[in-house]
Amino acid sequence: MAARSPLLTILIALLVALLVWLFVAAWPEWLTGAIGAKKLFVTTIFNGVTVAGLYFLVASGFTLVFGLMRNVNLAHGSLFLFGAYIGYSVATATGYWLIGVAAGFLAAGLVGILMQVLVFRRMEGDELRQTLVTIGISIVAADLMLAVWSGKTYQFATPDWLDGAVRTPFILAYRSNGAAVPMMYPWYRLVVLAAAIVIGVGLWLVLNRTRIGMMIRAGVDDRAMLSASGVNVHVVFAVVFGIGAGLAGFAGVVGGTALSIAPGEDVRYLLASLVVVIVGGMGSITGAAVGALLIGLAEQIGLAYFPTYGVVLTFVIMVAVLAFRPQGIMGRPA
Amino acid sequence: MSVMETTTGVSAEARSMAGSPLVWGVAALLLVYPLVATPFLTFQVGGYALILGTIALSLSFLAGYGGMVSLSQMSAAGLAGYVVAIFGFNSFGSGFGWPWWLVVPIAVLASTAFSVGVGLLAIRTEGIYTIMITLAIGVAFFLLAQQNYAIFNGHSGFAGIAPPVLFGLNWRDPLPFYYLALFVAAVFYLAVVYIARAPFGLALQAIRDNPRRMRALGYNVTAHRVAAWALAGIAAGFGGVLLVWFNGRISPGTIGVDRLIDILVIAIVGGTRRPAGAFLGAIFFVLLDTYAINVMGAERFNTLIGVLFLAIVLFSPDGLLGLWEKARRSFATRGSGV
Amino acid sequence: MNFTRGTLLATAGFALAAHFSAANAEDTLKVGLMVTLEGAFTVLGEDGKRGAELALKEHNGMAGGKKIEWVVASSDASPDSAVRAVRKLVESDGVQIVVGPLSGDEGLAVKDYAKTQPNVTFVNGTSAAADTTLRDPAPNFFRFTTDGAQWMAGVGTYAFEKKGYKNVATVAEDYSFPYTQVFGFMAEFCKAGGHVVSKSWVPIGNKDFSSVIAAIPADVDAVYVALGGADGVNFLKQYQQAGGTAPLIGGSITADQSVLSSQGKQKDAVLGMPSAGPVADAWDDPRWTKFVADYKAAFPDGFPSPSLFAQGYFVNTKAVLLALDKINGDLSDNGVKLRETLAGLEFDTPTGPVKLDKNRNGIALNFVTEVAEGADGGLFNKVVEVKEAVNQTLGQPEDEFLKLGVVGRDNPSCP
């Protein structure tokens, strides 16, 4: 898209240059006066990008399932919360956080496969009914999880090797004695971002460079044709649904460690995924990444600079995208 | 399912229903009900079910005849309710104090404009997107109302909103309110029954089944769909006006995500293929909402509702109404067999 | 499919039967108990219910010579559902006394409803909005507990004088209850000479405070935090991660068990944090220790220590039972005598003596606490001051207090 016109390219280059300058330079008085301290700006951008990593983890599973099966899984948030609860229970029981992460992924993935095999296979092609079923599942799941884990707030003990803050190369200010004040940032959030990038790249590689990815992409374009060419579509579907659901559970544990786990988080992350994929483009992994970045930044900038309407900002972006590019930024026209 | 089958099927059934003794029986029952029921049953169960039914009807009209499932119908209704609170009277003294005959049309106009706006966004995408977009827009409106104090009075919302005293009647009293709600519900019920048979409704159903063919035939698909959203907005708007009069108050909680889902549950459980389904679903929902606590406690109410909803979606896509019809049909065949 | 249909019909039929068969025996008195048993506040509602049940149990299930029977109605903490629940209690179940509701906006809604039912007596649960009784009160709504501003009594002065904080930033959720708490804090703090230089109102439901924390001015002496449960824990964790050094001041629900028992380094951030509220876990008064022991014996699966929700429902229920005893359970005059008795009632509660002001709002003790480390290394709220007879105008003359106006994002203000 960037290469479409030289003007746009120049504009983007200028924006990038401005951003780099904002991060690297010592801010002059007038700038601090206009938009607040450099610390606030740099921290907010960092927060936006790391939150985007989390949103991408949740939304990529959602978009993957939709891309292949046209199934709008409105129980995706429930899978997120379920994975988080299971992950917490396992991590607490075993004492190993990583086992909890794996358990969250596996538990949610298993539920996803069961949902696909037991329910959705029976109503293939009836997208609306599938969506309604997912709404029903999310209502029941939320209430049953409330019954099992109660309304308490759970917090993972972050493992020591992920805890604490690290020094970033960005200088926020200079003390009167000339010493630089570097920006410190929570290590864990950076690790989440790295994990999101690794998983994102991995998904992209699997989809674009492997046989199974080829089958999935073929399925997205023409399900009947794929089936006719001898591929067991049901297995492909179950695997994809399992991975999509597992990613939600994985994100549940990872996100729950960054913040906490409590009832209501299911709806929050479902909505985040919805907005991310509507903005980015349904069914596209790259779209999910772009959407997550936009929404994460918008949310955090809103919280820092105008908290009153910050929460509405993400939805304004969504409506604007729908109005001007209904298929989403990276989506293909219907 | 071909265009001809669907449309003639529905219209024939609708015609047969208009004359059937069952319809007249139900109508008589609804008219007599408040004379035998307690004021609580009249107002809290009857009135509330009719209001929710009207709002759910706007959803099931869009879904059943237009193939567009909108979760933002409660938001449209809520907007109308907010307009009544803001332009009329409320106990914070911040209302403009305009008379009801001015406020109600503005409220309905607002909800209609809202519904059309949502529709314009939704119809630019594939059908299944509608449910997601409307959910997101509904939540966006909820958040806006919760954060904005200048217009929507934030998290607290408005209280002290009452229907007018007119013709010597306090329309908040159970009996007048029930008949008012019944009148509004009946008007929209009949309107949907009529539209389903009118050329517009037939075209809408044909567009639902095959938009490409209808476009090729020279129909303006977009215009038909937008008109359907407008109609749904009007019904939701009147439902919203009644709802705010019924509750006497409105706050973001009235249009929260749970409430949006409630309306969907009502419409689907009742059955979206017929206008009566919305009301059947509403009666069922209100009875459960009111009395489930006596039977099983309040704790697992959502599980009950969710399982019920799932059962309907999985086993009887036409809702309770579909079950009833199936039962009647099997009864009829058995009867004729003897 | 047959199963489905059968279940549906049975449920509907059962529901109706349950309704119509509700007979009213002569020697039992039905009392409505309105509590939040659905949605996010369920855990708190359950504890409120425990408090009400404990009060009745202590009274041997009897009052005024009649057996007391609860009719429970549930809300989801939204005012709409509160009104529906209370309507059902009054208009369908026919109760003449209602205890509840739990949260602030519900309280305001029930007060409005109370005005339309002058023959029914409403006694608060734990709802703590000031205007439930302060402005435009209902003559038949009684609150033996205190409001959200009263809950802050003492801590503003304590923070200014004992802790020496002069400039403070506030972080709280963006709705009426935290407004009231911030108001209660500022009423004292600003009067003492302190300044609140910035206020961050966090949208409800937001769990990520990192950008909010970054926006707190660097040069404040302390940060006042009115965030409950999960939000409190999240805030502390992120505050510590972001390297926040300014000490904290807590709202009434900030320094609760979930914060104190949470693991990790945030312990250091809360140590020494002053806060205030209507209950203090570690108060060594025998009335309170007996209440805690009774609570633990009756509800082994309850909280480690009764929350302010259990205490609030307990106190208000006890008021109803005591008043019923005094009038021998005679409600034949549509509760006129009951309400007269309630208005003049003074009694001793687990949290000290309570009586009502002319608006039927509680005048009671309030506790200033400070987070301290126990002998076992665990954190607890040490009582540092007990404010006696805290009234709704926080000791100011009523007309002066009312002139401060309705609380909101920008009111009060002392930058």
Distance CA B177, CA B171 (A): 5
Query: How does C154-184 read in b/e, with b if 16+ C-beta sit within 10 Å?
Result: bbbbbbbeebebbbbbbbbbbbbbbbbbbbb
Please tell me if residue C8 touches chain B, with a CB cutoff of 8 Å. yes
Average pLDDT, chain B: 84
Best of C4, C37, C171, C211 to substitute, by most chain A Cβ atoms within 10 angstroms, is C211
pLDDT > 90? residue C135: no
* Overall average pLDDT of the B162-191 stretch: 85
Beta strand pairing status for C141-142 and C195-202?
Answer: unpaired
Query: C272 or C13, which is more confident?
Result: C272
Residue type, C151: W
Distance CA B185, CA C350 (A): 53
- pLDDT digits over A66-103, tens only? 887 778 889 999 999 999 999 999 999 998 999 999 99
pLDDT over 90 percentage in chain C: 44
- What pLDDT does B58 receive? 95
Q: 3-state DSSP call for residue C28?
A: strand
SS3 content of chain A, % helix, strand, coil (to 5): 75, 5, 20
- What pLDDT does C51 receive? 94
Beta strand pairing status for C62-63 and C66-75?
Answer: antiparallel
- What pLDDT does C168 receive? 93
Helix residue ranges, H only, C199-256? 210-214, 229-241
pLDDT over 70 percentage in chain B: 91
Please tell me if residue C205 touches chain A, with a CB cutoff of 8 Å. yes
Identify the residue whose tokens are 């509330």: B48
Chain-chain contact of C42 with A43 (C-beta, under 8 angstroms): no
Which of A27-31, B173-177, B194-198 has maximum average pLDDT?
Answer: B194-198
Smallest CA-to-CA distance from C258 within A157, A257, A154 is with A154
Residue of C nearest to B302 (CA): C38
Q: How far is A302 from chain C (nearest CA, A)?
A: 9
Chain-chain contact of C230 with A262 (C-beta, under 8 angstroms): yes
Query: A297 or A168, which is more confident?
Result: A297
- What pLDDT does C269 receive? 79
Chain-chain contact of A303 with C211 (C-beta, under 8 angstroms): yes
| C-alpha to C-alpha distances, B144 to A222, B55, B148, B282, C233, nearest whole angstrom | 41, 21, 6, 28, 26
User: Between C37, C83, C409, which is nearest B247 by CB?
Assistant: C83
pLDDT band at C6 (very low <50, low <70, confident <90, very high): very low
Chain-chain contact of C204 with B254 (C-beta, under 8 angstroms): no
- pLDDT digits over B94-120, tens only? 777 788 888 899 999 999 999 999 999
Q: Are C273 and C255 contacting, i.e. CB atoms less than 8 angstroms apart?
A: yes
Please tell me if residue C204 touches chain B, with a CB cutoff of 8 Å. yes
User: Between A282, A311, A315, which is nearest B136 by CB?
Assistant: A315
Q: Are B52 and B263 contacting, i.e. CB atoms less than 8 angstroms apart?
A: yes
Chain-chain contact of C92 with B156 (C-beta, under 8 angstroms): no
- pLDDT digits over C91-118, tens only? 888 899 999 899 888 898 899 899 989 9
pLDDT > 90? residue C34: yes
- Peptide bond preceding C412 in cis form (omega within 30 of 0): yes
Q: Phi-psi region for residue A52, left (φ > 0), alpha (ψ -120 to 50) or beta?
A: alpha
* Overall average pLDDT of the B78-92 stretch: 87
- Write the DSSP assignment of B79-137 as a string of letters: HHHHHHHHHS--TTS-S----HHHHHHHHHHHHHHHHHHHHHHHTTS-TTHHHHHHHHH
Smallest CA-to-CA distance from B305 within C44, C92, C93, A135 is with A135
pLDDT > 90? residue A109: yes
Q: 3-state DSSP call for residue A111?
A: helix
Torsion, CA B179, CA B181, CA B187, CA B188, rounded to 10: -160
Residue type, B274: R
Contacts of B140 in chain A (CB under 8 A): 312, 315-316, 318-319
- pLDDT digits over C244-261, tens only? 888 999 998 887 776 777
Chain-chain contact of C18 with B295 (C-beta, under 8 angstroms): yes
pLDDT band at B29 (very low <50, low <70, confident <90, very high): confident
Report the 10 Å Cβ neighbour count for B132. Answer: 25
The phi and psi torsions of C71 (rounded to 5 degrees) equal -115, 110
Chain-chain contact of C15 with B249 (C-beta, under 8 angstroms): no
Which B residues in the span 207-266 are in contact with C, Cβ-Cβ below 8 Å?
Answer: 247-249, 251, 253-254, 256, 258
Smallest CA-to-CA distance from C174 within B79, B249, B90, B156 is with B156
- pLDDT digits over A192-238, tens only? 999 999 999 999 998 888 888 888 878 777 777 777 887 788 888 88
Structure tokens at A152: 């308490």
Which residues lie across from A177 on neighbouring strands? none
pLDDT band at A19 (very low <50, low <70, confident <90, very high): confident
Report the 10 Å Cβ neighbour count for C389. Answer: 13
Please tell me if residue C42 touches chain B, with a CB cutoff of 8 Å. yes
Q: 3-state DSSP call for residue C34?
A: strand
Chain-chain contact of C206 with A151 (C-beta, under 8 angstroms): no
Quote the distance between the C-alpha of residue B5 and its chain's center: 27
Best of B70, B129, B285, B296 to substitute, by most chain A Cβ atoms within 10 angstroms, is B129
- Write the DSSP assignment of B210-270 as a string of letters: -HHHHHHTT--HHHHHHHHHHHHHHHHHHHHHHHHHHHSEE-GGGGSHHHHHHHHHHHHHH
pLDDT > 50? residue C9: no
> CB under 8 Å to B247, separation ≥6 — which residues?
B161, B254, C80, C83
Distance CA B308, CA B286 (A): 14
Residue of A nearest to B307 (CA): A140
Residue C143: DSSP 8-state:
B
Distance CA B187, CA B193 (A): 10
Distance CA A275, CA A328 (A): 10
Structure tokens at B252: 């973001």
What's B150-182 look like in SS3? CCCCHHHCEECCCCCEECCEECCCHHHHHHHHH
Chain-chain contact of C72 with B298 (C-beta, under 8 angstroms): yes
| C-alpha to C-alpha distances, C149 to A257, B159, C186, C254, nearest whole angstrom | 34, 22, 10, 15
- What pLDDT does B154 receive? 83
Beta strand pairing status for C222-226 and C248-250?
Answer: parallel
- pLDDT digits over A147-184, tens only? 888 777 888 878 888 877 788 888 777 766 777 777 77
Residue of C nearest to A305 (CA): C215
pLDDT band at C23 (very low <50, low <70, confident <90, very high): very low
Structure tokens at A99: 């086992």
Which of A67-71, B41-45, B60-64, C4-8 has maximum average pLDDT?
Answer: B60-64
Q: What is the ipTM of this complex?
A: 0.84
- pLDDT digits over A231-270, tens only? 788 888 888 899 999 999 999 999 998 888 888 889 889 9
- What pLDDT does B290 receive? 82
Q: Are A52 and A280 contacting, i.e. CB atoms less than 8 angstroms apart?
A: no
Number of H helices, E strands in chain C: 14, 15
* Overall average pLDDT of the C138-144 stretch: 94
Contacts of C80 in chain B (CB under 8 A): 247, 249, 251, 253-254
Chain-chain contact of B38 with C19 (C-beta, under 8 angstroms): no
- What pLDDT does C304 receive? 82
